[in-house]
Amino acid sequence: MKKNKVFSLIDKAVFDFSLLEDGDRILIGASGGKDSTILAEYLSQRQKQKRENFSLAALHIGTDISPPLSEEIKALYKDWGIALHIQEFSVLDRVREGKKMNCWWCSTQRRTALNNFALEGSFNKIALGHHLDDVLETLLMNAVNKAELSTMIPKLPYEKYPVTIIRPLYYVDEKSIILRAKKEGFASFTCSCDYQAFSERKNMREKLGVLTDGNFDAKMRLLSSLQNIKADYLPQKTKV
């Protein structure tokens, strides 16, 4: 595999968190955007290296609010030797009475479809394209909205199902993904919908940019702080 910054950072995450193992049956969540496309490219190349013995397939969940999967992406998956499955449903029809459509509801519906497909196909891992910026945005959103210190983690085994979520792009910042996508011709790939333009995550993304000035090292330090907790210098209630 030709080394580049993105693939080197994915290599590091795979090593640090033991994301890939012999015998894995991996299902890629193929959103149609550049993140999951680069993830698929990496996994296909790593599979050819035979550093681990694992199988690959991908599932695209099409909805009535997301752009259709392009023929170009379908061709790429075919070239990479990854079986690409497509499921479609109306997410708007699933919105409960009295509720409004939002990003959380849509992602929950798509995640359920992914999980069901993984279980039916005996996949033990689902690979998602969440990257460093997504992780830090979630950290800030949870702190501000839930008063808790938590975020996405790189490896999440489900308690009820024999399936584990993995996020190989955990160390990769969005800027590096964009540069890689431009180089490989993926820059135009998108899975955005009209609802995302006004989402809370988009607002937090702008705040993260101000906080870190878009600097990769600053983002990595923010992530590393989660594993460097100085409990003696954090407030502890003496009375509850």
Whether the pLDDT of residue 67 is over 80: the answer is no
What is the pTM (predicted TM-score) of this model?
Answer: 0.91
Q: Percent of the chain having pLDDT more than 70?
A: 87
Contact indicator for 62, 86 with CB cutoff of 8 Å: yes
Instruction: Set out the domains of the chain in order of their start, with CATH numbers.
Output: 5-226 (3.40.50.620)
Q: Are residues 32 and 188 in contact, defined by beta-carbon separation less than 8 angstroms?
A: no
pLDDT-based confidence at residue 1 (cuts at 50, 70, 90): very low
Mean pLDDT along residues 78-99 = 82
Q: Residue 203: how many CB atoms within 10 A of its CB?
A: 12
Q: What pLDDT, on the 0 to 100 scale, is given for residue 102? A: 63
Which has the minimum average pLDDT: 84-88, 95-99, 128-132, 229-233?
Answer: 95-99
Q: Is the pLDDT of residue 215 over 60?
A: yes
